[in-house]
A = this chain, B = another copy of it.
């Protein structure tokens, strides 16, 4: 059976307080801690505050990334967590963020990434 290279969870996080989703330092801190709490290694962090409101940001981890875009006026955050390998569970990060954002509910779905054909992987396995 093919094993994907990565797991990509797209999470819809609803019912969050305006002041949390519009505080760039708080959102950045929660995202970085979500990465660390799930066992990821943080490599790069970049966040951007929009006017009059809203935040976009990404935490690049050794295992891939966590990204967020917030609509504070809607109490909504679009999050995605992409992880590779067996060490980090992307759902741990999603659940952590949902709790720390003070959300009323979250829905999410996972997509397998990098389902490579057997013709590609064995060729490379020889070089590993």
Contact = CB atoms under 8 A, between A and B. Distances in A.
Contacts of A25: none
B74 A116 contact: yes
Interface residues of A, number: 40
A82 B69 contact: yes
A29 interface: no
A5 interface: yes
B56 A43 contact: yes
A57 B46 CA distance: 11
Output the residue of A47, A64, A74 with the most chain B CB within 10 A. Answer: A74
A64 B54 CA distance: 11
Given A43-B56, A69-B82, 18 more contacts: A5-B71, A6-B69, A6-B78, A12-B115, A14-B120, A46-B46, A56-B64, A56-B65, A58-B60, A64-B78, A67-B67, A71-B114, A74-B116, A74-B121, A75-B120, A78-B113, A78-B114, A80-B80
